[in-house]
Structure 1
Amino acid sequence: MEYLTQFKIDDLSHDKSEFIFILESPHKQEVAMGFPAASESGWWMSKAMFNIETPLGELVTNKSSSIPRISILNCSRLPLQISCYNPLRLSEDFSEFLEIQEIKNGNIQVVKQKIKEKLRTKVGGQALKSFRFRLLKSIQNNNNHSKIIVCGVIAQCFFEEATQLNGYIRVATNLQWEGCSFKIFYEYHPSPKSGQWQNPYNMRNLLDFMSCKRA
């Protein structure tokens, strides 16, 4: 899939990070800027956690002293929104994989099952292999002191398929994987569409997990 290289965004992965944020994928703004969490979702992350009105990816890229040391990993280094590729013609198997973003159901377990089925396809398996490698490397670079925040259902499915472990929404959980110990925390997607990060009441558990106080 070399023809998609222009859309691929690298992680912001730093040694000895206090927190690793796992997001789903880049979108148009991330592709344009060249780093994760550059769009409105990144803005809301900074606002909710640190009361700073700058996208989180920009703060991490510039190594801002106003925030803790953070790494940001996208599960998929390529956008999962088909609109990002217009008017490029995509291969059939990749187009079918991008349907992962369209999976809807009132039962979250049904949604997760269907997402994981997509991750078990050829294209999904390639994305999962890449994520697993990058996640393990990031955890190892943090010397077993990682606090990992997994944002959104797709990201949670990537994590669960890669590690064969589970976290719980807004509950801190101690886990071990590949000889590494870390804490995991599931959070909702920071997109304004979810409406979760815009309400300070909703973010209390995450702030407690991070033990950070807003200005």
Structure 2
Amino acid sequence: MGLCKFKVDDLTSKNNISQIIFILESPHKDEYIHSHPIAGQAGTRLLSLLKRVGAIPNDIPNKPLGCLIKSGEILNISIMNASPFPLDKNFYCQQACNSKMVDALAEIKNRLQKHTQTVYKPREGVESKLCNDFSERLRNMIADKTKVIIPLGHVASNFVKSVQGINCKVHFGVMHPSAREWESADNIKQLRLALTDTES
């Protein structure tokens, strides 16, 4: 796609069991630096809320969730970005910002972050290619032991809605960790509900 050097690959649990798959929007600066998803502040906020709802022990170090998954300190959780390329135009250097591809990625973010569509069908071109790539990556990550897919935020939710025939539980309604209301009672409730799907 012309921006391959900015691509951040998905992160699979060290034990190769993707019991829970979190879907986020796209990489940002910390993810690019660390070469894996959820490596910055959003990863720390996600870990904090997972501890709060009792999904992760409190004695786990307070690091971004992605870093703990990569080091093997947390198992059974895998992370994907809807887009493996940053969607935020501000990420790219001034020279890259003149790229039509960067503009196309930014337009996708601006349109899809506003709400989760009841039925989402990607537009032709870059958006369709991204969704096809995401669909293939998600299908490859889903396994027999996968219990729930949890998209975080509207962009991730819309991408998941573009995938046909997912054969495991998907829980929509959890916000992106950067959301102002991330620690609200409603969002905590949604995360708890999503995680109850892993208990059976």
Measured against the shorter chain, the TM-score band is: 0.7 to 0.9
Q: CA deviation digits over 1:117-167, x for unaligned, max 9?
A: 7x313111111111000000111xx2153311111101111111122xxxx
Q: CA deviation digits over 1:40-77, x for unaligned, max 9?
A: 1111000010255211110111111xx44111011100
- In structure 2, the CA distance between the partners of 1:16 and 1:93, relative to structure 1 (3 Å rule), is closer
Alpha-carbon distance between aligned partners in 1 of 2:190 and 2:101, rounded to the nearest angstrom: 39
RMSD between aligned alpha carbons?
2.7
Q: What secondary structure does 1:98 align onto? A: helix
More strand by share: 1
User: Is 1:206 aligned with 2:191?
Assistant: yes
User: Is 1:96 aligned with 2:104?
Assistant: yes
The aligned residue for residue 146 of structure 2 is 145
Alpha-carbon distance between aligned partners in 2 of 1:205 and 1:28, rounded to the nearest angstrom: 28
Alpha-carbon distance between aligned partners in 1 of 2:64 and 2:181, rounded to the nearest angstrom: 17
Alpha-carbon distance between aligned partners in 2 of 1:104 and 1:143, rounded to the nearest angstrom: 30
Q: How many residues align?
A: 185
| Structure 1 residue 203: Cα displacement | 1.0
Alpha-carbon distance between aligned partners in 2 of 1:162 and 1:17, rounded to the nearest angstrom: 18
| RCO comparison, higher one (Cα < 8 Å, 6+) | 2
The aligned residue for residue 60 of structure 1 is 69
Where in structure 2 are there 5+ consecutive unaligned residues? 52-57
Equivalent in 106, 115, 121 of residue 124 of structure 2: 121
- In structure 2, the CA distance between the partners of 1:145 and 1:5, relative to structure 1 (3 Å rule), is closer
Q: What secondary structure does 1:162 align onto? A: coil
| Structure 1 residue 20: Cα displacement | 0.3
- In structure 2, the CA distance between the partners of 1:71 and 1:132, relative to structure 1 (3 Å rule), is same
- In structure 2, the CA distance between the partners of 1:190 and 1:121, relative to structure 1 (3 Å rule), is same
Alpha-carbon distance between aligned partners in 1 of 2:146 and 2:37, rounded to the nearest angstrom: 23
- In structure 2, the CA distance between the partners of 1:72 and 1:122, relative to structure 1 (3 Å rule), is same
- In structure 2, the CA distance between the partners of 1:21 and 1:82, relative to structure 1 (3 Å rule), is same
The aligned residue for residue 54 of structure 2 is none
- Normalised to the residue count of structure 2, the TM-score between the two structures is 0.81
Q: CA deviation digits over 1:72-109, x for unaligned, max 9?
A: 01110000001111223343254133122223898x46
Q: What secondary structure does 1:181 align onto? A: coil
List 4+ stretches of structure 1 deviating above 4 A. none
- In structure 2, the CA distance between the partners of 1:48 and 1:91, relative to structure 1 (3 Å rule), is same
User: Is 1:132 aligned with 2:135?
Assistant: yes
Query: What amino acid sits opposite 2:99 in the alignment?
Result: S
- Normalised to the residue count of structure 1, the TM-score between the two structures is 0.76
The aligned residue for residue 169 of structure 1 is none
Equivalent in 70, 89, 108 of residue 77 of structure 2: 70
Alpha-carbon distance between aligned partners in 2 of 1:104 and 1:133, rounded to the nearest angstrom: 20
